[in-house]
Amino acid sequence: MAVGIAPARDRIAMSLRYQLVPFAAILALAFVPGEARYATTLISEVAIFGLLAVSFDVAFGIGGMLTLATALFFGLSAYMVHHALASLQLALPLAVLAGVAAAALAALLVGLTTSRVKGAAFMILSLIVVSAGASWAQSHREWTGGDDGLGLDAGVLTLFGAPLNAIAQYRISLILLAAGYAVALLYARSRFGRVAAAIRQNDLRAEYLGVNVAAVRVLTFVLSGAIAGLAGATHTIVFHHVHTGLLHWSVSAEALVYAYLGGLGTLAGPLLGAALMTAIKEATGQWAHVSELAVGVMLVAVIRFSPRGLVPLAGLLWRRLTAARGPVPGCLTRDVARLAQDVRNG
């Protein structure tokens, strides 16, 4: 028993059936035909950045740690999977595992050294860590290939001896997305996840209740790093190319944008945010670089007018339409629902 933090089940506003919507969507997307190369590439991109946004949501939305180090774990895993496939000739599942393990290990190291640091200092420390990683990678071009990066011969992508064609790679990206999302959801609903949320709300109170605050923070951070690692592995599998740009902190900022757009702390929201933002970027992409501007404008607009993101907003609208009582759909924890209600009230 996690020391009296876990409240009665009905007090936690976890509406599980709404959390199943993303799984249904992922399953439906698996039937997109392989000829639709444009669509599959785009959806794979959503899978990668959706996972990255979920990783950020686990760290900040659930754990309350405003981290910009996501890109470090993402890039590290992408390089690790590349190395495992190209140089070590490992099987694909083992390569993915190696990438995720490397990301988790790096997150463990960063988490252990920073477990005492909170608030703005934590954000800045994570920024230092990610810039140190990026500048190390940049200065060792002989290993990382620098900005130009390293290509991967698609021939090494095999699963149980059979070569993977484009549609198989696409479906693997969906499977990895579903797996990462499921792990995040299970964590949020587990006792650890609730304790992590309690620490976010008031770390002093949690500590007085006997919670090992540092341990739960490190655990949450490692999980977030592992999910970012899954995103990095997916990137290598889909795009067959790694470069040092993957390690830049602006990649973390992008994940943060998606998470905020969809709704922080909702897990489904970050996925929706990634899908929506990828669509907007694609629609505006024909005018060179307007897409980056669109990301910024969307972020500013969301924070300005609906700071809790789109999923809680949609949940509130649904609530209002049906005039029902109880938890707000799509909101994982009670405090997000309460904050969303504050926003509604004024």
Partner 1 sequence: MDLSSLLLFQLVNGVIWGLIIALLAVGLNLVFGLLGVVNVAQGALYMLGAMICWQVVRWTGSYAAGLIAAPLVAGPLAVLIDRWFLKPIGHDHDLSIIMTIGLALVIEQTVFLIYGADVRAVSAPINWSLPLFGMSYPGLRVVIAIVAVATLLSLALFLRFTQFGLWMRAVRFDPDVASSQGVPTQLVFAVTFGVSAALAAAGGALAAPIVNVRHDMGVDVIVVVFIVVILGGLGNLFGSAIFAVLMASMEGVASTFISPPDARLLVLCLLAAVVVIWPSGLPLRGIASR
Q: Is 338 in the site for partner 1 (CB under 8 A)?
A: no
Among 3, 136, 148, 210, the residue binding partner 1 under the rule CB under 8 A is 136
User: For residues 139 and 158, which CB has a smaller minimum distance to partner 1 in the complex?
Assistant: 139
Q: In angstroms, what is the minimal distance from the CB of 22 to partner 1?
A: 23
Question: CA of 277: how far to CAs of 38, 55, 249, 280, in Å?
Answer: 17, 17, 18, 5
**Alpha-carbon distances, residue 254 vs 29, 55, 85, 117, 199 (angstroms):** 23, 12, 27, 24, 26
Cβ pair 216, 65 in contact under 8 A:
no
**Residue 73-112 contact track with partner 1, rule CB under 8 A, x = bound:** ----------------------------------------
Q: Does 300 bind partner 1 (CB under 8 A)?
A: yes
Distances from the Cα of 141 to the Cα of 73, 76, 135, 145, angstroms:
19, 15, 11, 5
Kindly give, in sequence order, each residue whose CB lies less than 8 Å from that of residue 262, ignoring residues fewer than 6 positions away: 53, 268, 269, 270, 271, 272, 273, 274, 276, 309, 310, 311
Q: Give the span between the Cα atoms of 277 and 44, in whole angstroms.
A: 14
Both structure tokens of 201: 């709300």
Interface of this chain with partner 1, residues 2 to 31, rule: CB under 8 A: none
Question: Taking the complex as a whole, how short is the minimal distance between the CB of residue 72 and partner 1, in angstroms?
Answer: 12
Instruction: Lay out the site mask for partner 1 across 243-262 (x = CB under 8 A, - = otherwise).
Output: ------xx--x--xx--x--
Mask for 109-128, x = binds partner 1 (CB under 8 A): ----xx-xxxxxx-xxx-xx
Residue 181 one-letter amino acid: Y
Binding residues vs partner 1 (CB under 8 A): 66, 113-114, 116-121, 123-125, 127-129, 131-132, 135-136, 138-139, 249-250, 253, 256-257, 260, 289-290, 292-293, 295-300, 303-304, 307
